[in-house]
Chains A and B, each alone.
Chain A
Amino acid sequence: MTTVIDVQSITKQFKIHHERHQSLKERLLHPRSGATELFTALDDVTFTVADGETVAILGHNGSGKSTLLKCICGVLQPTTGEIRLRGNLAALLELGAGFQHELSGRDNVYLYGSILGFSRRNIDAIFDDIVDFSELEQFIDTQVKFYSSGMYVRLAFAVAVNVDPDILVVDEVLAVGDERFQAKCLDRISRFQQEGRTILLVTHSADTARAICDRAIVLESGQMIANGPVGDALRVFREHLLGEAAEHDGDAAHPGLSIDAVTTPDGSFDVRNGSSLHLDVDLSAEGAVSGNFVLEVFTRGGQLVSRSDARGAPVNLTPGRNRVGVDLANVPLLDGVYDVNVGVVDPHGNTVIAWREQAAAIQVIYDGREGGIVELSPSITLQG
């Protein structure tokens, strides 16, 4: 596999002006004043991405995700270190950043394309595809300032995904447009994957990462704290999220709670389709905790099968060791291995108090002939 993105010990520091002297008078009056502080947004980050990989970058707000992406796209220059790129790159840092409101959609397609680094001839060849994808045939000669925000974003996305990039860099822009357009975007991204293109995706959403990424990188205060399979990275991400929350909220709100183990009475995680499964979840609490219990089941491919309704499962935990029993009456799943995540969330909001990613892996045995994830056993009769 060829390495297409090679990030070598990137550090990016920003000067933070506490007192901004941007006018000439102020600069002259205060030549050296205005205390500046160095803020390290990225601290010695190194990783590579191979051709055809889809990699998620996870992190909280302010963890350096966007700075990293901007360095990769060339919007920012790293303070030290270097990034090597192979092939052309289309970045969706902000949809429609290059649009000129006074110009028509058509003109903007060409202008945006050329800003992204594609020639007029390239754009000519794919212009119809872009218009098709954006579904803006009627409005393509209208000035962009008359577009709705949805139309605006659709046009920008259509340009970026149709210009035939080798590497696509996406920054949390999938949450745009209506549901149908979102599905279309995801569809296009999976086609990109099939075509063996490289995708780098910044997201907050664990579901999105699990569903479409091969690998995830987790950033925390500018440092890379995980780089590996999505499941492992998500575990690190969630654990840090909890650690942070505990620091911020103070221990009054959430006394320490940890999920120690998930076991079954007979020690086997094999279950036959249609039969029941009992899981024992051992938790240790430092104080009394009341919260809601959540269970998530994923396929090995990262597809969410089910997330339980947290509000329906309040648990009051006493200090010390606790055991929560989870009963699945008849497992409708088809053949395969499923990952189970368990957690306890806050009764009011949905703040996570304790979480264990991939706490167990259950193996479902199925003898029937249905395909997919869930057994529906449709009964088919000829009517009339």
Chain B
Amino acid sequence: MVDAPARRGRRSLDHAPVRVMSARANLPTRLRDLVSRRELLSGLIKSDIKIKYKGSVLGLFWSMLAPAFTLGIYYLVFSVVLKNGIPNFVIYLFSGLIVWNLFMNAVSGATGVIVDRAGLVKKVSFPREILALSNVGAAVIYFLIQLVVLALLLAVFGHAPAWGFLWILPISFAALYLLTASVAIVMSAVTVYLRDVRHLMDVLLQLWFWLTPVVYSYEHSIAAALHHHGIAWIYFLNPVTLIVLTFQRIFYVNQTVFATSTVHSAISNTQVHTLLNVLPTWPMSTYFYLNAALLGIMAVVFLVAESIFGRLEGNFESEL
């Protein structure tokens, strides 16, 4: 190290900002810390993705291939075998599935992340929720890739999205992001104390998936019956529902379709067209108001999630 490059002059620390570490950091401090470490977040997202596809020949291509298989299976089961009669079912399915995939990938990845990286958590100081958020970030990257695939699919099928509704997409996506991040952050911390949560979450996510109108249509579901009793709002207690409906409205567009089924008779096969409700027939303003309200709620939920994490974080050291 004889000719090591000369270091830059030492700056005076007289006016350097003071960091205070005490029993519990308040919420504004936590958020400020989080924002100041965004570069770490992007670094972790990159390394997450790199590690996930390290050594695999197809690499990032798998992030398209895996959902494509799921898509294919659901298409076969629901459209070909069960004949749900929704035309262009692939597009209907995919516009909801990308939303669900983002949520599920992020939450199932983040749930065990603090336990898995105990070595790091116990030895290095940084806002720990970044570990959970990096899983969310990676899921967002896969989401964006799938969004491109969806766009290609639309082009291939010649299926135009509802251009006029497109501006609601960012609002809906922001709500989805905050929802996913909140669940991911809280679950990553809870798992430290209750290791079962990890397995419980796998089961819960499956149930959650079937409660969300991704493979079936909202109007076709129990929602109609609920609506009849004036309690359709119960369905929207699952916040993913609204987001999925919005995405479907934007990309699939058709609220009502003519389902074509073939009636077999002795003489000939007759094509029968029946009117099928797929999506709620709300005007654009309803979609906007609902999504904006959800975004507001999710912003509050995110703050709550952050403070829950802050409370649970204190004892990580002794629980890990």
**Residues of A near any B CB (own CB < 8 A):** 2, 4, 14-16, 22-25, 27, 51, 70-87, 91, 93-94, 97-98, 100, 102-103, 107, 110-111, 114-117, 119-120, 129, 132-133, 164, 166, 184, 187-188, 195-197
Contacts and interface: CB of A to CB of B under 8 A. Distances in A.
B23 interface: yes
Interface residues of B, number: 47
Given A22-B194, A78-B22, A103-B51, A91 B1 contact: no
A117 B314 CA distance: 21
B123 A24 contact: no
Contacts of A25: 196
B120 A115 contact: yes
Contacts of B124: 73, 75, 91, 93, 97-98, 115-116
Contact of B18 (A81, A85, A102): A85
B117 to A, nearest CB: 9
Interface string B49-69: 011001000000000000000
B315 A111 contact: no
Given A97-B123, A98-B120, A111-B44, A120 B39 contact: yes
Contacts of B51: 100, 102-103
B236 interface: no
A79 to B, nearest CB: 6
Contact of A77 (B10, B22, B50, B119): B22
Top 8 A-B residue pairs of the complex, sorted by shortest distance between their CB atoms: A74-B125, A97-B123, A82-B22, A24-B196, A114-B43, A114-B40, A102-B51, A83-B21
27 contacts: A15-B315, A22-B194, A22-B195, A22-B319, A23-B195, A23-B196, A27-B194, A51-B13, A74-B19, A75-B317, A76-B317, A77-B22, A82-B23, A85-B19, A85-B21, A86-B13, A87-B13, A87-B16, A102-B54, A114-B43, A114-B44, A116-B124, A117-B37, A117-B40, A117-B126, A119-B39, A197-B10
A221 to B, nearest CB: 18
Contacts of A100: 47, 51
B171 to A, nearest CB: 31
A73 B195 CA distance: 27
A229 to B, nearest CB: 24
B126 to A, nearest CB: 6
Nearest to A70: B317
A43 B295 CA distance: 46
Contacts of B43: 110-111, 114-115, 120
Contacts of B273: none
Nearest to A198: B13
Interface in B15-42: 16-25, 37, 39-40
Given A22-B193, A72-B21, 7 more contacts: A83-B21, A93-B123, A107-B50, A114-B43, A117-B40, A132-B4, A195-B7
A82 B25 CA distance: 11
Contacts of A78: 21-23
B237 interface: no
Given A23-B194, A103-B47, A164-B7, A114 B39 contact: yes
A49 B54 CA distance: 45
The majority secondary structure among interface residues of chain A is: mixed
Given A71-B21, A93-B123, A195 B194 contact: no
B150 interface: no
Contacts of B12: 2
B200 A24 contact: yes
Contacts of A117: 37, 40, 126
Contacts of A70: 317
Residue among B7, B13, B18, B193 with most chain A CB within 10 A:
B13
B230 interface: no
B19 A129 contact: no
Contacts of A116: 124
B158 interface: no
Contact of B13 (A2, A79, A119, A187): A2
Residue among B16, B21, B47, B197 with most chain A CB within 10 A:
B21
Contact of B40 (A79, A115, A184, A197): A115
Contacts of A197: 10
Interface in B177-202: 193-197, 200
Contacts of B16: 86-87, 166
B125 A81 contact: no
A4 B14 CA distance: 9
Contacts of A24: 194, 196-197, 200
A93 B47 CA distance: 22
B13 A4 contact: yes
Contacts of B47: 100, 103, 107, 111
A145 B83 CA distance: 51
A74 B1 contact: no
Given A85-B21, A87-B13, A73 B125 contact: yes
A282 B23 CA distance: 51
Contacts of B194: 22-24, 27
Contacts of A85: 18-21
Contacts of A84: 18-21
Nearest to A11: B23
A300 B51 CA distance: 53
A63 to B, nearest CB: 17
Nearest to B128: A75
A78 to B, nearest CB: 6
Contacts of A15: 315, 318
Nearest to B4: A129
A195 B14 CA distance: 16
A188 B193 CA distance: 41
Contacts of A77: 21-25, 313-314
Interface in B84-139: 119-120, 122-126
Contacts of A119: 39
A159 B122 CA distance: 19
B238 to A, nearest CB: 23
A36 B261 CA distance: 67
A82 B21 contact: yes
B283 interface: no
A129 B124 CA distance: 23
B20 to A, nearest CB: 5
Contacts of B40: 114-115, 117
